[in-house]
A and B are shown apart, each in its own frame.
Chain A
Amino acid sequence: MTTHECDVCIIGGGISSAMLAQKLAELRPGISITVIEAGKKLFDLENRMQYRRRTIDYAENPWPGDFIEDQAAKGVISRTMAVGGSALHWGGTCNRFSEEDLRLKSLYGLYTDWPIEWKELEKFYCEAERRLGVSGEPSPLPEDWRSEPYPMAAMVMTHNLKELKQWGEKSGIPFWSTPQAKNTKPYDGRNQCIRCNTCSICPTGARYSPDFTFKRLLARKNFALHDQTLVRKLTLNDGKTTVAAAEAVNRERPGEPIEYRAPVFVLASGYCWSPHLLLLSNNSRFPNGLANRSGLVGRYMCGHAFLSAMIEIDAKIYPGMNEQHGLISRQFFRCKTDQPFIRHDLRIWESASGHEPRLRSADGRILLGDSLLADWRDRAKRGTARVRGYYDVHPDRDSSLTLDVTSRNRWGDPLPTIAHKPDAATESRQQLTRQHFQQLFQTLAKSNNGKILSTGAGNYLDHPAGGCRMGADASTSVCDSFGQTHDHENLFVAGSPTLPNAGCTNGTLTFVALTLRSAEKIATHFRSPA
């Protein structure tokens, strides 16, 4: 067995890991940090233009090799396992939560409160925006106050978005540019966005992805990144509750197990693989897994539900100007305490839906060549708005990640299964929520001779989180607000798993903000530089 020693061992190589390692290296330049990632390093920026082309032309994977065939979980929304994690292919949307997300119990008598003040979190939102390079337009709503401006001006609002903003605001709802981790000017050594319209594979590096941070960290002599290395178990020091080692195996050299020893361990493997590893790490003293005296590891798995509509309007929309950039309204982030509880974001994008080329006319005739083009042009005279709202749903305790003994990886470890379950209060307001959205879509459609072409409800929870929720009470949570587990002094959980609930908008910025805050606490375990 090979033994590798370091000061901080970070398990998982996604966006939280990158941010944590970067900040720790700044706060404590003398400490050694090792990041362990089960997937591969895909650091070939020079090939991304070609991958993008193959994706457009052939629907090929824009990130070849970004998954592990036998490391699959049921109920996940992405198979990506590589250095950079899901933030390799994310859209870069950087919305903040709102204070209400942290105060559900005290404001509405629902679910739970977070053990952290909004003012405290806001500081770290600013830092996250600086580190990721967010371009944005401040919200016009005073409740969305911010203590620092966005690092970059917002993305240019295309002709299409200007048309859609004008349309949307006729309903009395303010819309503005959605903040994104995309460079509107050269920033942090990365290029300016050149509107490639394929943000899931950004060929220029204008959209932030963690590989850039890792590449920079690798220039340091006391930073190591071990990819293709799967941590299978955490073990404890004899007679103590502190974590002694992470037992791992390199996928290329399966016959040579590796042991990582460190005074501090951080789980930064996301909402799925962090609770999974804790459950896998059970032993005679902790038969239900590590950090699980509360029985809540793998519980309260959360995310937000969504409803969407395609609305056809009288507006000259040219599909493809910048489909990845949209509008947001935070008007519905708050709801009055004496009104039914419905909280959501509201987003609008350009779309070609309903106006795409088709092979058959409405009466079933086959269209070829000129007749197909004429039919398409006739239908394309009107524009389409894609409208979507992520709405706040709260998890039940039984919203769970469990070990599935019927599904194992090649090492024989049971793989995780996630089954989301909303709490009773969420269930009881489902119908009202749907009615609210139906009315909202109709209100929007009234302007510009609008017509709802279709509506849809998501069949999964987006931006999933949870599984190691934070709290002040060790009997009702897995870790504190810094991600420090209640049961093991030297074991932290970073980012998404620590969220009690997933808010009603994209979560990545919140995962990063919480991680940056954790970094300050983790740094206190080491002497500060003179």
Chain B
Amino acid sequence: MRRRTLLRWIASLGSAVRLTGLRAWAQTAAFPGDQGPVLAALAAIVLPSELGPDGVRAVAQNFERWVRDYRPGAEMDHGYGFTRLRNKPASPAPAYLRQLESLRPVLNGDAASSRRAIEAALEEAKITDLPRSPDGRHIAADLMAFYFRGSDANDLCYRAAIGRDRCRSLAGSDNPPPELKA
């Protein structure tokens, strides 16, 4: 009797795991689902206003694409010096959707209160620094990491067309990079 219960429990666990995996896959593929407006409101606060509304929208859309193209379980770089085999963790999409849902009511107010709400959410998530790359702990930090750690933000910071992550010619690299066009 006990054995049968255990087997039934294992079988149900298997189905639950499969169902959870399927849901995560669906949430990733359809990200951000109906949370698009919340993500847009978040982007307007955590990204620099110098980008302009179109620029902010473009970054948010690139981030959405980044989430949709995420490959859980993909091999990660195994490093040099300190080497270990690792795989990409599960998709951050389900966590992002939950976080956006909880931000939904607080991102409707004025900019100052929205900022305070995001700060509180980051404090609660115990995020102390900008992640090296989005790591799924909180969407606000990850959206900022996605943009500010990228090549375009590097250009904006230095107001120069450095193009760190682009393939460029060697020619002219002995001069300072050209000024960033507005």
Contact = CB atoms under 8 A, between A and B. Distances in A.
A357 interface: yes
Interface string B51-88: 00000000000000010011100111110111111001
B144 A368 contact: yes
Contact of A320 (B78, B132, B163, B167): B163
Contacts of A57: 66, 69
A372 B173 contact: no
A442 B4 CA distance: 72
Interface string A228-242: 000000000000000
Interface in B134-171: 140-141, 144, 148-149, 151, 153-154, 156-158, 160, 162-171
B118 to A, nearest CB: 6
Interface residues of A, number: 60
Interface stretch (A25-33, A191-199, A276-284): A191-199
B71 A60 contact: yes
Interface residues of B, number: 60
Contacts of B71: 58, 60
A62 interface: yes
Contacts of B85: 67, 69, 79
Contact of A373 (B50, B66, B132): B50
Interface string A189-220: 00011111100000110000000000000000
Contacts of B66: 57
Contacts of A322: 173
A155 interface: yes
Given A60-B88, A194-B170, A322-B173, A358 B129 contact: yes
Interface of A is mostly: loop
A157 interface: yes
A358 B130 contact: yes
Nearest to B83: A79
B109 interface: no
B75 A60 contact: yes
B5 interface: no
A195 B167 contact: yes
B175 A58 contact: no
A170 interface: no
Given A58-B71, A69-B85, A358-B129, A197 B165 contact: yes
Interface string A37-58: 0000000000000000011111
A477 interface: no
A320 B168 CA distance: 11
B144 A359 contact: yes
Contacts of B82: 459-460
A453 interface: no
A319 B78 CA distance: 25
Interface string B82-99: 111100100000000000
Contacts of B122: 359, 366
Nearest to A461: B81
A452 B50 CA distance: 33
Contact of A58 (B70, B128, B130, B140): B70
Contacts of B162: 318-321
B78 A79 contact: yes
Given A56-B165, A359-B127, A159 B48 contact: no
Contacts of B148: 357, 372-373, 376
Given A318-B158, A318-B176, A76 B83 contact: yes
A162 B172 CA distance: 13
Given A59-B133, A194-B168, A377-B157, A158 B174 contact: yes
A205 B175 CA distance: 25
A379 to B, nearest CB: 9
Interface in A351-368: 352, 356-360, 366, 368
Max chain B C-beta neighbours (<10 A), residue from A62, A69, A76, A318: A318
A203 B70 CA distance: 21
Contacts of B88: 58-60
Nearest to B159: A377
Contact of A369 (B49, B70, B158): B49
A460 B83 CA distance: 11
Given A194-B170, A318-B158, A360 B128 contact: yes
Closest 5 CB pairs of A and B: A320-B164, A61-B75, A357-B148, A196-B167, A373-B48
Given A60-B88, A372-B148, A462-B81, 15 more contacts: A59-B76, A60-B74, A61-B74, A64-B75, A65-B75, A76-B83, A78-B80, A159-B173, A159-B177, A321-B177, A359-B129, A359-B130, A366-B122, A368-B115, A373-B48
23 contacts: A54-B74, A58-B71, A58-B133, A78-B80, A158-B173, A194-B167, A194-B169, A195-B168, A197-B164, A197-B165, A320-B154, A320-B162, A357-B153, A359-B127, A359-B129, A359-B141, A360-B129, A366-B119, A368-B140, A369-B47, A373-B48, A373-B148, A377-B157
